A and B are shown apart, each in its own frame.
Chain A
Amino acid sequence: MSTYPSDLRYTNDHEWLRDAGSNVTVGITQFAVDQLGDITLVDLPKEGDLVTKGQRFGTIESVKSVSDLYAPCSGTVAKVNAALKDAPELVNQEPYAGGWMIEIAPSERGELDELLSPDAYAAVAQ
């Protein structure tokens, strides 16, 4: 069984969220990466776009399949990881670091309390 970084919060859809105090950073978990296999394309929103908790904010394509990415909280996209355009494999290589996807300026910080703890997520991801 995998363990998940203790400083992150998680969704049932296998996204992670790192709360830096003002903005939050979002990516997908090692479990999601293992399920997807080699990632070949990540389609992300633009800076300034609005995202809604639980709604699609992008798509991720692996060799075999295409999946939606769901926003873990509502807010405005503050930053996009432009490196993924030419190097989508970063998501495979370092899902919690260089493979991050977007930064969100949350509009409802209360939503963050609804996210899963590492232990609760570990029970989901199996």
Chain B
Amino acid sequence: MSNVSVKVLLFATFRKKYGSKELTIECDGTLKGLIESASRILGGEFYSDVYNSERGMVRDDLIFTVNGRNIKDLKGDIELKDGDVVAIFPPLAGGINSSKLIEV
């Protein structure tokens, strides 16, 4: 997989914590690779804030979008392209891993 350049937008508490709203990241095109590359700039804690190493996936309690589409709604492996925009919201509004808050 060749390297791609992706714009990463941070929101809410992540902005204050990492002192950045927007950064451009070069990575291998995978989500894991993107988060690893961003962690080299923002610090190791970013990795654990965003990635669940045990499950090998982006943390379930974030809103994590690629070009506005939540990755939970995208089918198959996600391959980032040059110029893609990734938005990351901390776990403040959703995805709390409780599937039956409302008993359907």
The finding on whether chains A and B are genuine partners in a shared complex, rather than unrelated, reads no
B residues adjacent to A (C-beta < 8 A): none
A residues adjacent to B (C-beta < 8 A): none
